[in-house]
Amino acid sequence: MKKLSAGLLVALVGGAPLAWWKWSHGDAAELSLTCIPGQSRAYALSYESRGQVSDATFGLSQGDAPEGQSVETVVRGRWRETCVRGDAKSHVLDVTVEDAQGHFSAKGGIGGGGAPSDVRELVAGHSYVELGADGTVRAIHFDPRMSPLGQNLLRDMLSLRSMRLSGLVQDGGSWTSEEEDFNGRYSAPYTLELPEEGLARITKGTRTYAASGSTQKLTKVAPLVRALPATGGELVLELATFQPRSLRSHVEVELVASSRTIGQSLSHLELTPAGQAAVAAVDARKLQEDFSARTARGVRPGDLAARDADARIEERIQREELGSETWASLLEKAGESSPDRAKLFLKFKALFLLHPEACRDASALLATSKGPHETTFQLVAGALASAGTPEAQHALVAAIDATSDRLPHQRTLSSLLGTVSKPTPDSESLLRSLVKGHAQDEVRDTARLALGNVARSLQGQDPQRAERLVQDSIAFAQSASSQQERVVALQALGNTGAPQGLEVLARTVKEPDATLRQTGASALRFIESDEAERMLLELATRDASDRVRGEAVSALSFRTLSPQTVAELRQQVRKDPSESVRQLLVKVLADEAPRYADITLTLEEVSRNDASASVRKLATLVLLRLNASEG
């Protein structure tokens, strides 16, 4: 959403690429592309993008615009691509937009608002685009004179003409590709047709964004992105010349939060032959020298997912947060009698992100600190874990190594190390060594729980490392004998969030020991499967123990619930004998209320009729909150 608030709603994507395409002759030839250095092709360009955010959710200022925030971009001109260099694996193109006409306008605070801007200056310049042999955009080296807005206009055009080639040149061929854009990863279907002699048509269908298949409560972190049916693209190639005859790409996307559509975006790109205008000779060597010089500057290249824009935005946020503070000045403020802990935490984090060398000082401080009870220890250790950079993780690892004889240090620091978002192999190795060799049971248990968190973090980053950790957790859960060992093993397995652990947990939730059933319920909270939800629902509505039912309800709060589950919870909140469980049910139902209108009726009934004054009061409060959010 920060991209939307920064004026990047113009970049919602789809389509097919443009380059020099090489079709091998003969039946069932492989589809691939190539380019000849110095050769240039021009196409008439027509690009439009419109978007609107109509909800103030996620902190977007509505300004004075009653319609919310909106942007519109129109670009007409000539799209030119010149081959800089190419080989069997990759290609570099010089991309320019010539004779650009059109406008960019924004309302309601996006992009600064104000009068429409002429797009000529926004898209002027030479940008170098690195492509894979399959046509995917690997990197974009923007013209250094381009503004962030201009970069994102070009990025969107490149996204709209991006496709991933696969398979053989056969009429009726099809494949599915995993790609990415501003909104994240998506899956897109492709088909290949040979409609008449000398022509090939590649069609890109409606994509499905990865987030739309998740059962996690997406509204807690981001809106759901949904591509509408009109989304698609078509590239027609002339096989005799290996050149595109035409390109059309259209994308419509909506943003949904709590079942409400809070934003919409439409982007459209057409590239058609530009006629027989003379093309000036291009010095390929000069282009190659300029490309080498630009990449040698060390400027982070862009990509279709706008990670470079994210990085710039994040860096600006952190610099504003840190201000003129230094390690010494922050330590001085942390030592005051009543420090602003929240503010200092953010400043320490900014320091570690912007000045990685400060992590060494932080590690030394933690190693010599009296312990986690100190404010400075808490702020510094927490900020290192939140920063999560390799340098910050190394600082935590070094501090753990230096305090092996101090139990409070070991427990706190190893627990924090397990919360980093991108665990390094060194961090994992340190936690493994604690599990295997530390003399204190408490430290071993804490490290084991931390490794469960590490496994969950690694599932989308390094599946092989994650799988090894998951299998270790399953093995320990199966071999643990004492109740204490079994509880720790189940907690660690639950932290992984891995469906591979369902078999162990299915047995656990049927144990006669209520403590084990309660732990099993908690361990199901991160597992995204219908089976896990069914197990939790059964515990929440049928277990004899109040503690187990309550734990199951709490675990259900971590997921977006099915209609069947919601219906049973609506019944359970009316009849559960435990006041504390009914309170938990009220909270879970309140979270689901934006998706199910009938929940409000149930909560109104509870607010009037529940036997407990505390439950009635809670139901009344959540109804007020729901009514306020709707208003």
List every span in the chain annotated with CATH 2.30.230: 2-300
**SS3 label, residue 123:** helix
315-547 in CATH: which number?
1.25.10.20
Instruction: Return residue ranges of the chain for CATH 1.25.10.20.
Output: 315-547
Which residue do the tokens 């190639």 mark?
237
Beta pairing class for 260-273 and 40-53: antiparallel
Please provide the average confidence, as pLDDT, over all residues in the chain. 87
Within 10 Å of residue 279's Cβ, how many Cβ atoms?
13
Report the alpha-carbon distance of residue 51 to residue 582 in Å, rounded: 43
Give the tens place of pLDDT for each residue, 269-328: 999 988 655 556 688 899 999 999 999 987 889 888 888 877 877 888 999 999 999 999
pLDDT one-digit tens code per residue, 248-260: 999 998 887 655 6
- Per-residue pLDDT of 51-101, as tens digits, reads 987 644 433 333 344 445 788 999 999 999 999 998 878 899 999 999 999
CA distance 485 to 445: 9
* Residue 395 reports pLDDT greater than 60: yes
Tell me which of 237 and 447 has the higher pLDDT: 447
Q: State the pLDDT at residue 348.
A: 97
CA torsion angle 145 148 152 158 (round to 10): 30
Rounded distance between C-alpha atoms, residue 216 and residue 560, angstroms: 6
pLDDT over 90 (residue 159): yes
Read off the pLDDT of each residue in 209-233 and give the average, rounded to a whole number: 64
HSE, side-chain direction, 13 A CA sphere, residue 223: 25
**Highest CATH level, class, for 2-300:** mainly beta
The two three-digit tokens of residue 352, written as one number: 């570690």
Q: C-alpha 339: how far from its chain's center?
A: 34
Q: What is the pLDDT of residue 4?
A: 37
Structure tokens at 559: 């997921």
Q: What is the pLDDT of residue 199?
A: 87
Could you give the CA distance from residue 82 to residue 77 in angstroms, rounded to a whole number? 16
Written as six digits, the tokens of 450 are 């931390």
Rg of the chain over CA atoms, in angstroms?
A: 28
Q: Bridge partners of 302? A: 140
Nearest to 274 by CA among 245, 235, 250: 245
Q: Count CA within 13 A, CB hemisphere, residue 8.
A: 25
Report helix, strand and coil shares of the chain as percent, to nearest 5.
45, 20, 30
